[in-house]
């Protein structure tokens, strides 16, 4: 059994980790931390866990977390990097669901997140946790940077095209929509029901924090610089991300459907849909699946890739558990076989 702790168990990502981990046959939850809720039963805050988890919230101390084999950080940006070096020194593996270890350049981190990086040496060791790209590195890693939700959907959409060098990498467009749970559980006027319902808006058009993360991953896959326009939108739904990825194909004779099917044929959580299909966010709700569909409208030069995920699962907690499984020598799909929720 893998002894697991969660730092920051009160947010939507934290409770999603708990929902999945309590049913994982190879996991023993030994610590769920929250400074504000320490001493309160986890199931009192999240009654969906009643009968599945008897732990109380505890303080996020090194002594408490050192009993774990692996610790998930489901905390705000800037928290994990202050604790991770001490945990690694105790032999504890880490999966960080925030952005602390996603960007390889500490100057880029400081530019986009407004604070200096607290452990640059550890940053150099971190492996970016997109299993469809870094599976073998993740297996050997002590610390994994779990990808963001938008970056997961967008990268999986573009990867087959960039890896084969068949599109103009200087002119990529990602038009992405997210449910309000992506904004987190903290109180915010913009995510109130009366504010978000019956409305639809773009945000972060001038530069979203996920932009450098997406570009970093795409440039590694393309082995060249990329030009990316990324525009996120808030939609009046709770869960889900839909990314529409546009690029210009350089050779119209290539069978794009076969290209995508072959690239992801052995990936347990990527579903390439039949030609002409249009995946829906509700078709992946509650699951660790990314569904993709590739189109070339009117047989022209423009390639359109549709990518949908549940932002809290494949975009966060599910992918984190996928990484945990790889890091701990377990079956990659262990504990992640949930059928998506319908309706």
Q: Which residues are catalytic?
A: 149
- Strand-pair partners of 7: 33, 73
Count of alpha carbons within 13 angstroms of residue 131, beta-carbon side: 26
Is the peptide bond between 343 and the residue preceding it cis, with omega within 30 degrees of 0?
yes
Alpha helices, H only, 116-242 = 120-125, 131-140, 149-163, 193-196, 210-222
Best CA proximity match to 78, nearest among 106, 44, 41, 116: 116
DSSP string, 183-197: G-SS--GGGSHHHHT
> Rounded to 5, what percent of the chain is helix, strand, coil?
35, 20, 45
Distances (CA, A) of 200 to 177, 233, 238, 278, 283: 9, 7, 13, 20, 21
CA angle, 138 as apex, 132 and 141 as ends, to 5°?
165
Q: How many residues does the chain have?
A: 343
CA distance 5 to 332: 19
Residue 119 gets which letter from DSSP? Answer: -
CA distance 31 to 70: 11
């Amino acid at each position: 059994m893998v002894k697991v702790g969660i730092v920051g168990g009160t947010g939507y990502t934290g409770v999603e980790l708990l929902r999945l981990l309590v049913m994982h046959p190879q996991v023993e939850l030994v610590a769920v931390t929250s400074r504000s809720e320490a001493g309160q039963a986890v199931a009192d805050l999240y009654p969906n866990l009643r009968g599945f988890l008897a732990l109380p919230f505890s303080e996020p101390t090194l002594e408490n977390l050192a009993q774990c084999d692996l610790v998930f950080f489901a905390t705000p940006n800037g928290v994990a990097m202050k604790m991770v070096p001490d945990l690694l020194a105790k032999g504890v593996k880490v999966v960080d669901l925030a952005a602390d270890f996603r960007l390889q350049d500490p100057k880029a981190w400081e530019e986009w997140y407004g604070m200096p990086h607290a452990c640059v040496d550890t940053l150099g060791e971190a492996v970016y946790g997109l299993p469809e790209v870094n599976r073998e590195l993740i297996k050997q890693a002590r610390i994994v940077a779990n990808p963001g939700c938008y970056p997961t959907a967008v990268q999986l959409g573009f990867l087959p095209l960039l890896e084969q060098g068949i599109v103009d990498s200087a002119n990529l467009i990602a038009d992405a929509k997210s449910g309000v749970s992506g904004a987190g559980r903290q109180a915010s006027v913009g995510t109130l029901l009366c504010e978000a319902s019956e409305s639809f808006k773009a945000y972060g058009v001038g530069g979203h924090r996920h932009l450098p993360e997406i570009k970093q991953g795409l440039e590694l896959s393309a082995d060249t610089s990329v030009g990316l326009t990324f525009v996120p939108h808030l939609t009046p739904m709770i869960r889900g991300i839909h990314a529409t990825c546009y690029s210009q194909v350089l050779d119209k004779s290539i069978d794009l459907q076969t290209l995508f099917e072959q690239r992801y044929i052995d990936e347990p959580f990527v579903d390439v849909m039949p030609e002409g299909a249009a995946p829906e966010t509700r078709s992946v709700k509650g699951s660790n699946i990314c569904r993709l569909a590739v189109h070339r409208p009117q047989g022209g030069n423009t390639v359109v890739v549709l990518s949908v995920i549940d932002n809290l699962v494949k975009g966060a907690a599910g992918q984190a558990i996928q990484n945990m499984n790889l890091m701990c020598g377990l079956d990659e799909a262990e504990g992640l076989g949930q059928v998506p929720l319908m309706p």
